[in-house]
Amino acid sequence: MSISTFASTLQPAAPTSVVGRAYWQARDTWTVTKRNLRHFVRQPRLLVFSTIQPVMFVVLFAFVFGGVAGAAISGDVAYIDFLLPGLFVQSAAFRSTQTAVGLAEDLERGVVDRFRSMPMSRVAVLAGRTLADLVRSVAVILLMVAVGYAIGFRFTEGAVSAVGAVLIVALFGLLMSWLFILLALYVPGAEAAQTAGFVVVFPIVFASSIFVPLETMPPWLSTFAAQSPLTHAADAARAMSIGGEVLVPTLLTVAWCVALLALVIPLSVKRFRAMT
């Protein structure tokens, strides 16, 4: 207990080069990511909601629609094998609305004011949230795989392809998270973010190859769904899980993600800076 402990001579490190700046951006992002992951495990309600819901989706969709939808699937593919890779994408898409809710709540808290008064990277506040949500997304997918295995799902294309299936969905989830970051920066309030998320995400998830093959839809809908990035992501994950055309849907998914991320990330950062 001495006065001298106040007298820190420590000074914030100032980035002096492009490399230095990139290093601090990465480290700040990691610090914010750790904080958001801690938040996640310390909110039991959120933890339960975001783990039980995907498990319920796997079980309910597999057993409720398995009979009807399974008959519409060509070949001898079981519905759970068709469904599960699609549900990875569904889960990542639904989870991204939580990114908007989390950021909206942060913006209402004083702690973001402190962040903004500090010499830390601006991007880190946003990137740290999307990265934490990415970690969550992957954890939820692994949980879904475990549940899927219990009710008959099997990866048939080997370990590398299975990892590929998870990665392509993770990339897609990252894109969705950033889209919702942008939304949260324009639409104030957590509830607004949630509502907007539901209104937008719900239809685009169903208007895709996530739950059923496009051939079973009316032509106007299947034409729309065939262009959907969610269809590409589901097709890519499905092909890497149980076989089929991998290259085209994977390239399309990556192209969508890279193109939109290149647009959405700078727009979000610009908007966040302008809010200062």
Partner 1 sequence: MSAEPAVSVTDVRKRFGATHALTGVDLEVREGEVLGLLGPNGAGKTTLVRVLATLLRPDAGRALVLGHDVVREAGRVRQLIGLTGQYAAVDELLTGRENLQMFGELFHLSAADARRRADELLERFDLTDAASRPARTYSGGMRRRLDLASSLLVRPRLLFLDEPTTGLDPRSRNAIWAITRELVAEGMTLLLTTQYLEEADQLADRIAVIDHGHIIAEGTGDDLKDRVGGQVVDVVLVDAGQRDRALEALPDAEPVGSDREVRVAVTDGDPLASVQRVAEALRQQQIAVRDLGLRRPTLDDVFLQLTGTVAQAPEQGPDDDLREVVA
- Write out the residues near partner 1 by the rule CB under 8 A: 1, 3, 5-14, 24, 27-28, 31-32, 34-35, 38-39, 42-43, 108-111, 113-120, 124, 276
Query: Smallest Cα–Cα separation from 243: which of 7, 102, 103, 74?
Result: 74
Least distance from partner 1 to the Cβ atom of residue 35, Å? 6
Q: Rounded to whole angstroms, how far apart are CA atoms 18 and 12? A: 17
Q: Give the nearest distance from C-beta 253 to partner 1 in angstroms.
A: 34
Q: Rounded to the nearest whole angstrom, what is the least distance from the CB of residue 155 to partner 1 in the complex?
A: 36
Pick 8 or 74: Cβ nearer partner 1: 8
User: Using CA atoms, how far apart are residues 227 and 214, in angstroms rounded to an integer?
Assistant: 11
Looking at the Cβ atoms of 108 and 245, the one nearer to partner 1 is 108
* Nearest CB to partner 1, comparing residues 9 and 17: 9
SS3 for 13-76, per residue? CCCCCHHHHHHHHHHHHHHHHHHHHHHHHCCHHHHHHHHHHHHHHHHHHHHHHHHHHHHHCCCC
Output 120 or 246, the one with its CB closest to partner 1.
Answer: 120
Burial class (CB in 10 A: 0-12, 13-18, 19+), 215: exposed
- Give the whole-angstrom CA distance, residue 38 versus residue 46: 12
Phi, psi torsion values for 128, nearest 5 degrees: -60, -35
Q: How far is the CB of 36 from partner 1 (least distance, A)?
A: 10
Residue 209, SS3 per DSSP: coil
Residue 14 vs 71, nearer CB to partner 1: 14
Q: Which is nearer to partner 1, 115 or 153 (CB)?
A: 115
Nearest approach in angstroms of CB 10 to partner 1 is: 5
CB of 125 to partner 1, least distance (A): 10
